[in-house]
Amino acid sequence: MKTLHIVNKSPDQARFGRCLAALEASDQLLLTENAVIALADAGIVLPSENYALAADLEARGLAGRPTTTVIDYPGMVRLTADADRIICW
């Protein structure tokens, strides 16, 4: 079962850590809002299949991060439509 985890909390929030702990090998992670700050911290290990919203990256001066797949809002809709299950943190 493919699960999409959507997290909007910054890495210093407990929910962010709980989300990462809950990830399984086949899961996808979408970083939105303050969660995109995790891309600036080399100490945070993200799954290989992770995405970030372009608008949130740009708003926080983090555009151009090579460790994520950048998507727009239509891309977010596609991810949610393709997932078997969605968990919002």
Q: What is the pLDDT of residues 43-89, one digit of tens each?
A: 999 998 999 999 999 999 998 877 899 999 999 999 999 999 999 99
- How many Cβ atoms from other residues are within 10 Å of residue 26's Cβ? 11
> Are residues 30 and 52 in contact, defined by beta-carbon separation less than 8 angstroms?
yes
Interval 57-66: pLDDT, tens: 999 999 887 7
| C-alpha span between 79 and 69 (Å, rounded) | 12
Stated pTM of the model: 0.93
Q: How many Å apart are CA 57 and CA 46, to the nearest integer? A: 16
What whole-number distance in Å separates Cα of residue 36 and Cα of residue 2?
22
What does CATH list as the number for 3-88? 3.40.1260.10
